[in-house]
Amino acid sequence: MKKVVFSIILASIGILILIHIAYDPPLPNLGELKLKQEYAIKPTSPVDHSLFEELQKDFNSPQEVTEACIECHNQRHKEVIASSHWNWERISYVEDRGIASMGKSNVLNNYCIGASSNEQSCAACHIGFGMTNDRFDFDNARNVDCMVCHDNSEEYRKGSAMAGYPDRSVNLTQVAQSVGRPQRMNCGACHFYSGGGNNVKHGDLEESLLSTTREVDVHMAANGMNMTCVDCHSAENHNIKGKLYSVSSSDENRLTCDHCHTSTPHMDRMLDLHTAKVACQTCHIPTYAKVNPTKMEWRWSEAGKLKDGQPYHVTDTASGAETYMSIKGSFRWEKDVKPEYYWFNGHATHYVLGDQVDSIPVQINRLLGSAADNRSKIYPVKVHRGDQIYDPETNMLIQPKLWAAEKGDSAYWKDFDWQLAAEAGMKRVGLPYSGNHEFVNTEMYWPVNHMVAPKEEALSCEECHSRDDSRLAGLNDFYMPGRDSHAGLDFIGRLLIIAAMAGVILHGLGRIVSAIRNKEIESEEINTNYNQ
């Protein structure tokens, strides 16, 4: 009787285990549902600015609009003046450098290289008016541009090469009356078109996000959560959450997915364990630049070719992207790009103007982190490679003067003379120039954070855990099951198995042969007996 009971219990346990293995009931992800509910309700403005008398007038200059804003919002300009959107730099502690102020005034990139000496043009993405050179007054609240971020009418536009002033056609009254929470286009006007065109720099931030589908970006999709940039990049006192490591360096005021999603968002323990070492983006952004191509390579060394003494450009007929421009050099674009992967702990170092070049390719920015560092996670990264102007004698990268209104002002884009451009640029930033220039290979690292794919499209295990073409093939400072193995052990192990098989087969054959032979002897003996 006991035995029967025991075997029934055992059988039931067995069946339960099998059911558990074979069938995973789809449990609702309550955390995710709650988030969806929370973000389904879109914020509405508590006031209608068009009703305010102060704004029902003709504004003669954009500064007058700012003054009108400050009349009511009488402390906000101080917050803006403290922000990095205004200062274009940030003071932080940087490993190996100490306390440093870094930003667009002293950090380079390998696209248009640097803003210094080109402010007139570059300041189209400064939230101020009149930054024409390095003597801009960062304390003058009148020059704060409230409209560029808060215009909800899509009327406001910065003028081209107007030092941050709006285009002359902008109807300031209309803009002033329709201010509100920043919309996608407010952020996108700069962050989509940085580097001189749509999606040039980031690869994951571009105009297709203005109206997109879940396949491209689950957060911003019109048929998805329809979120705006500031839903995640929220701000407290105009200090906006999130860091862009082309210029930022410290792990501070960062925005990460787990702010909303927690570090255990999956309904699966195995996956949740990955979040300690793998950033969400790594699996959930299988490719970036999903709609329009992004620049992957920029060779300044090829700039300056002229046709009949005139600059020209070449456009790729298939993609519509420019592959050559006399003023900038040659480009390589790519769409649907698989990221590269690096350890990253939220800290980065940069090449700062005046630094000695210590490696070639020069790493314009370097993401810090390693497998051994337990604050590091694996992140997807867009690596932008190229070459740019460099002084082999001082061993420094050069800040060239690129932009000027007219010829004869040393600007490369007008005069096509690197010598003059290097001299003028370096003089402006107060650094020596030997008179010699070369082009040196450079790399820039852009963590990829946007264009999160629907969960069905997240990477499968095999994308990384595989011997050949693992996405993490380049990260060799840790052991990863499925990708790594001890070659010697595998060799010996296989040898052991083959030896065992061979031994067994030989032994077996030996037995069969000897059995037959023994039988023959026996039967011979019988036969001889019979014959006798």
Which residues are near other proteins by CB under 8 A? 17, 20-21, 263-264, 270, 272-273, 275-277, 374, 460-462, 465-467, 478-479, 481-486, 489-490, 492-494, 496-497, 499-501, 503-504, 507-508, 510-511, 514-515, 518
Question: Which of 485, 514, 518, 523 touches ligand HEM by CB under 6 A?
Answer: 485
d(CA 304, CA 444) in angstroms, rounded, equals 23
Total residues interacting with ligand HEM, rule: CB under 6 A: 2
Q: Considering the complex, what minimum distance in angstroms separates the CB of residue 300 from ligand HEM?
A: 46
Residue ranges of alpha helices (H) inside 131-245 are 147-150, 172-177, 184-191, 229-232
Q: Considering the complex, what minimum distance in angstroms separates the CB of residue 485 from ligand HEM?
A: 6
Tokens read off for 41: 């309700």
d(CA 136, CA 123) in angstroms, rounded, equals 11
Burial status of residue 155 (CB atoms within 10 A of its CB: 0-12, 13-18, 19 or more): middle
Give 430 or 503: the residue with its C-beta nearer to other proteins.
503
Give 73 or 467: the residue with its C-beta nearer to other proteins.
467
Give 1 or 276: the residue with its C-beta nearer to other proteins.
276
Give 7 or 485: the residue with its C-beta nearer to ligand HEM.
485
> 515 contacts which partner out of ligand HEM, other proteins, none, CB within 5 to 8 A by kind?
other proteins
CB 497 within 8 A of CB 485: no
Give 392 or 482: the residue with its C-beta nearer to other proteins.
482
Residue 488 binding ligand HEM, by CB under 6 A: no
Cα 65 off chain centre by: 35
Q: Considering the complex, what minimum distance in angstroms separates the CB of residue 373 from other proteins?
A: 11
Measure CA of the first residue to CA of the last residue in the chain; give whole Å. 65
Q: Considering the complex, what minimum distance in angstroms separates the CB of residue 264 from ligand HEM?
A: 18
Cα within 13 Å of Cα(352), Cβ side: 15
Residue 492 binding ligand HEM, by CB under 6 A: no
CB 176 within 8 A of CB 147: yes
Q: 394: closest CA among 428, 426, 441? A: 426
Burial status of residue 43 (CB atoms within 10 A of its CB: 0-12, 13-18, 19 or more): exposed
Give 305 or 517: the residue with its C-beta nearer to other proteins.
517
Residues 6+ apart with CB under 8 A from 453: 215, 218, 284, 285, 286
Residue 46 binding ligand HEM, by CB under 6 A: no
> 40 contacts which partner out of ligand HEM, other proteins, none, CB within 5 to 8 A by kind?
none
Identify the helix (H) or strand (E) that includes residue 240.
strand 239-240
Residue 467 binding ligand HEM, by CB under 6 A: no
Q: Considering the complex, what minimum distance in angstroms separates the CB of residue 243 from other proteins?
A: 22
d(CA 422, CA 416) in angstroms, rounded, equals 11
Give 41 or 270: the residue with its C-beta nearer to ligand HEM.
270
Question: Which of 98, 309, 474, 481 touches ligand HEM by CB under 6 A?
Answer: 481
Give 30 or 270: the residue with its C-beta nearer to other proteins.
270
d(CA 261, CA 218) in angstroms, rounded, equals 14
> 501 contacts which partner out of other proteins, ligand HEM, none, CB within 5 to 8 A by kind?
other proteins
> 473 contacts which partner out of ligand HEM, other proteins, none, CB within 5 to 8 A by kind?
none
The binding site for ligand HEM (CB under 6 A) comprises 481, 485
